[in-house]
Amino acid sequence: MKKTYDSPWLIKNKYKKTICKFCEYQIVSKHFSRHLERRHKDEPTVKELLNKEPNSQEKKALLSLIRNEGNLDDGLRGKIIPKKRKIGENINEKDFAICQYCRAFYRRLNLSRHVKKCSARPAEYEGTTRPLAESYIYAACQKKIWGSVK
């Protein structure tokens, strides 16, 4: 007979993890803002984050951008952490592409839908029929920049 556990803490790999862009540690996503406050309060982007109103849309957007940048750095090394995924789903990096505005990994099939309503997209955006092609160009440029810097 298979054991079942009522406590979510006993279930291994239940929570999604994210990569910190400053120290490159893996942190459970729900504890990420606390990690930034405690460990990286001297970084300029974290200072800006801490100066925002609690629970404001601006603070949530900036926190999401910091989280996505850490995941992007790790994704360029070959380990993709998608923005949305099903529990227990196998991740094939060929199925995902990068949004050039919010720097998150989305399924290639859903990228054009996401770009239309991406909150990090500039206001003067007129729309494109080729978000996937732009994603590949953005990824290639990031790999070139990332490879020369790190």
Residue pLDDT, tens place only, 82-100 = 887 776 677 788 888 889 8
- First and final C-alpha spacing in the chain: 50
Could you give the CA distance from residue 131 to residue 111 in angstroms, rounded to a whole number?
A: 7
* Structure confidence at residue 47 (pLDDT): 95
Q: Copy the structure tokens of residue 11.
A: 């279930």
What confidence tens digit (pLDDT) does each residue in 125-136 have? Answer: 776 668 888 888
Average pLDDT over the chain, rounded to whole? 82
Question: What is the Cα–Cα distance from 110 to 108, expressed in whole angstroms?
Answer: 6
Residue 110 CA, chain-centre distance (Å), reads 16
Instruction: Give φ, ψ of 89 to 5 degrees.
Output: -80, 135
Average pLDDT, integer, range 93-119: 88
